[in-house]
Structure 1
Amino acid sequence: MDHAPETLVLPTLPDVVRIGPNDAVAVALRALEAGERIDVAGAALTVAEPIARGHKVAVRSIRAGAPVHRYGWPIGTATRDIGVGDHVHSHNLVTNLRAEEPYDYAPIAPRPQRAPGDWRFRGYRRADGSVGTRNEIWVIPTVGCVARTAERVAQRAAARHREQVDDVVAFPHPLGCSQLGDDLDGTARLLAALASSPNAGGVLLMGLGCEENQLAALLERVPQGRRDRIRTVGAQMSVDEYDAAAQAIDELVAIAAQDQREEVGLAALRVGLKCGGSDGLSGLTANPLIGRIADMVTAAGGQAILTEIPEIFGAERLLMQRAANRQVFDDLVALVNRFKRYFIDHGEPISENPSPGNVAGGITTLEEKSLGAVQKGGHAPLMDVLGYGERLRRPGLSLLEAPGNDAVSTTALAAAGATITLFSTGRGTPLGSPVPTLKLATNHELAARKPAWIDFDAARVLDDGLDAAAEALMTRICAIASGESARNERNGERDIAIWKRGVTL
């Protein structure tokens, strides 16, 4: 098939859902008992054994050695004969993933994009033309040695300037020294990109003085047009680093306090696309819903960023088909094979993912996880491929180099320029990032059980249909982009993690 399918729009909630008409499996929307008779696309079958919600049931016989299809694509190979009604999972299905491989440039015509609608939000317009969803002062340490100092500086300043800016937040991390070469470069590039975020009305870069990641060199990486909103403090060079930092933040607040929200359209939105703690329903509810939002934003001229490169293995051809041109295709091929080599060079199989939580939720192979995960990118053409720590360059959908790790990838999205991130989850997580990080539950049970974590119940896709759910989610996105707090912000979950790839001295 040419395109990843959208979630089925069902008038009533069935027992199971099968996406592709030729799929050998369907996904249980509730726990199924052995001996139950269930309906699959108008045909009845008997469940052979207990099957948990989110897990797969065979809807036709599968011979040992045959490919098993879900979403219309193979998700692995049967290791033994599988009968109708059997549970299909790790005990009878294995991955087909291989190491580096050649890919053919075979672009397909882009799917016509729907009119996005006249959605608006109130954001902060920056001098470079970008629009932030927040007007905060960020304190970014160059090195882990002053991480706690930066936290204390931010806490004191937040209390002092509570009514003048949206917040004062520090982003501590343990790196910035004892690093070499590309590893140090990656840390510096990431921090400089974060300092350029539209959500930061001002940034204090706080260094120690003797670290590898020197303040002056870091500042040089920040675009010239952003430097009037940046101050620096070196702790070793200051008589009192707390006093120096307080004065610097007071200056930044005086500037940022002049900023006012103004109404803008979706063309001004930069949305990060992320999943974590996925389950068997992720590819049926939350991820296709995020994909619809990505399509709405990019159709309006806005920007969407997909990442987690190991979680496109097995589904990368879907993105390659959508490459806007040969250069984007070549960049994507190079990135995928480079990431596979990264695994191989460390003696790890490229198919080690899914995680134990994913497996418990019904995901069996990395191909299956990836086919669900790439649906967050919708159907828009892929316009650009970004390296780790690089910033958005053009409108539309971009793919960003970063691992699947939730903290590392959400940080990379914020550094690339995302001003809000949509994060689907079937298991739940409180994790946040520097920008509002909206959690979308893949199932009703999680949304009901963890309301303090979840911003939106994406399982309503199966109740109300994709269109209605997208309208409701976009309403929520615009409200949060206009200043309403996301759950991660209410809970104080605002962290960064930097991808460390080299030796430590």
Structure 2
Amino acid sequence: MTPLPSILLVHPDDSVAVAMVPLAAGSQVDVGGRHILLTQDIPQGHKLAVRAVTAGDPALRYGFAFGVATAPIAVGEHVHSHNVHTALGTGNAYRYARPAPMADVQANERQFDGYVRADGSVGTRNEIWIIPTVGCVGRTAERLAAQAGRDLPPGIDGIHAFPHPLGCSQLSDDLSGTTGILAALAQHPNAGGVLLLGLGCESNQMALMLDRIPMERRDRIRTLGAQASYDEMAEGLVAIAELAAIAGQDRRQPVPLSALRLGVKCGGSDGLSGLTANPLIGRMADAVGAAGGSVLLTEIPEIFGAEQILMDRCVDEPTFDALVGLVHRFKDYFVAHGEPVSENPSPGNIKGGITTLEEKSLGAVQKAGHVPVTGVIPYAGRASGAGLTVLEGPGNDAVSTTALAAAGATLTLFSTGRGTPLGSPVPTVKIASNSALASAKPGWIDFDGGTVLDKGMDAATNDLLDTVIAIASGRPARNEVNEERSIAIWKRGVTL
């Protein structure tokens, strides 16, 4: 096995390098033939100065500023939140320029075995989903799923309930968001059948959800109002059996990689995420995008400081304007609640070596690879067409993975440097940024992104693509093995 490098300089203009292994004060590292004496201990994933930085000057990583030095930083010093601070604000002026031709990425001819739906979409699973309109019947939905799933009908990959606490005591856009997310999930290609379970008196009336679902999708949907039913459990089980009889006739068939709708996500990032796991996910995005498939990116606060990189890939000016508007609205959302736009990274991110939101964002946008931005959609919107769609949504892991699934992602790649068991309604494939995490939490992690450091990016890319194809074709992701499937809805209004 090739020994790991002690440090990695991402861009020749960078003022910092990243420690790939823990480094002790007094040791020396080589940077382009220069020997640098470390004056402080540098934990793995953290940064050391390879150039002196004057107080008030920008500190550079990935070739971009990730913050401003708050004190003089000498070569060999630890660079982190004690001497670098964010420079983010709300008054950014963005520029549009016609995008340069994208670098050629050879179209990938790989296939996976998926479920082709009547509308042309392709699922990676054939499941029955029970979606409550309101939190009051969430537990009823879980009981139905558990009872119906005891003897799984042939041809059905699973029966799952997705309880949530909302659907009542909501108003206006807040209620509309809940209705939209649930209606979008009810149309998901991974659901061979859907039972919409209502109470009866809730704000999120069943009719509101049905109004958002095209008639051609309703042959795979059944509805049940608990208050109007003498025995909602018995009626629910009958409805599920009807759906299973229909969906059980579906069969997997070979489809091209272009049929995959790929969600990309990061959570619990560390200083290696932007060097290993996120670029690997970017390679998967490029493969799907080059094949003519769809890639979905959200977590808008986690592109702050790197948004211009995505804006430079917008295919036309209207798409650019839509992305600029989305970024400004999200910053206004923070300000309206009295919060700074830079209120990130999380404590776990900081412990892992990420200093500012700009640094986190510069690493996070790499998940999108080089795919052109072809669409910008609101929360609860559904993606259509090839290319990269930017989806309105927060960084919260549960909320954003739910939004990706509702927008149409049939498989989500989720990078993590700290680890998480969380799963969404679709296969949520965890990619560790470092091998230590992959070894420590094999029950959570699907792929060790740390192999980039010893096998190289190309070999790791091929290995990850094999994993993606296998999971898209039916091999359970770790979240599915662990029965970690849940939804969370973005609550933005008052509660009555």
Q: Normalising by the residue count of structure 2, what TM-score does the alignment of the two structures yield? A: 0.99
Kept in 1: contact 2:99–2:315 (CA 8 A): no
* Offset of residue 39 of structure 1: 1.2
* Offset of residue 350 of structure 1: 0.4
Deviations 1:250-275 (A, max 9, x none): 11001000000000111100010000
Residue from 36, 48, 64 that aligns with 2:55: 64
Counterpart code for 1:495: S
- Indicate yes or no: 2:432 matched with 1:452: no
* Offset of residue 225 of structure 1: 1.9
* Offset of residue 11 of structure 1: 7.4
Kept in 2: contact 1:27–1:57 (CA 8 A): yes
- Indicate yes or no: 2:40 matched with 1:55: no
Matched with 1:424 is 415
* Regions of 4+ moved over 4 Å: none
> What is the CA RMSD across the aligned residues, in angstroms?
1.1
Secondary structure of 1:189's counterpart equals helix
Matched with 2:164 is 173
Kept in 2: contact 1:113–1:295 (CA 8 A): no
- Indicate yes or no: 2:318 matched with 1:327: yes
- Indicate yes or no: 2:273 matched with 1:282: yes
Equivalence map 1:209-220=2 (5 Å): 209-220=200-211
Residue from 176, 181, 185 that aligns with 1:185: 176
Structure 1: distance between partners of 2:107 and 2:25: 45
Matched with 1:7 is none
Matched with 1:344 is 335
Kept in 2: contact 1:113–1:380 (CA 8 A): no
- Indicate yes or no: 2:473 matched with 1:473: no
Residue from 295, 301, 315 that aligns with 2:286: 295
Moved more, 160-169 or 491-500: 160-169
Matched with 1:116 is 107
Structure 1: distance between partners of 2:16 and 2:304: 21
Secondary structure of 1:336's counterpart equals helix
Matched with 2:478 is 487
Deviations 1:200-239 (A, max 9, x none): 0000000000000001221111122211100000000001
Secondary structure of 1:438's counterpart equals strand
Matched with 2:139 is 148
Secondary structure of 2:308's counterpart equals helix
Structure 2: distance between partners of 1:222 and 1:158: 26
Counterpart code for 1:480: I
Q: Provide the aligned length of Structure 1 versus Structure 2.
A: 496
Structure 1: distance between partners of 2:214 and 2:449: 38
Q: Is there any run of 5+ residues in structure 2 with no aligned partner, and where?
A: none
Structure 1: distance between partners of 2:220 and 2:328: 39
Matched with 1:6 is none
Moved more, 154-163 or 214-223: 154-163
* Offset of residue 41 of structure 1: 2.4
Structure 2: distance between partners of 1:64 and 1:449: 39
Secondary structure of 2:265's counterpart equals strand
Kept in 2: contact 1:278–1:361 (CA 8 A): yes
Structure 1: distance between partners of 2:165 and 2:108: 44
Deviations 1:47-90 (A, max 9, x none): 11011000000001111111100000000010111000000001
Deviations 1:377-416 (A, max 9, x none): 0011101001100101111111111100000000000000
Q: What percentage of aligned pairs have identical amino acids?
A: 63
Structure 1: distance between partners of 2:490 and 2:21: 38
Residue from 448, 451, 455 that aligns with 1:464: 455
Matched with 1:415 is 406
- Indicate yes or no: 2:233 matched with 1:234: no
Structure 2: distance between partners of 1:223 and 1:409: 24
Matched with 2:27 is 36
Matched with 2:198 is 207
Q: Normalising by the residue count of structure 1, what TM-score does the alignment of the two structures yield? A: 0.97
Counterpart code for 2:336: D
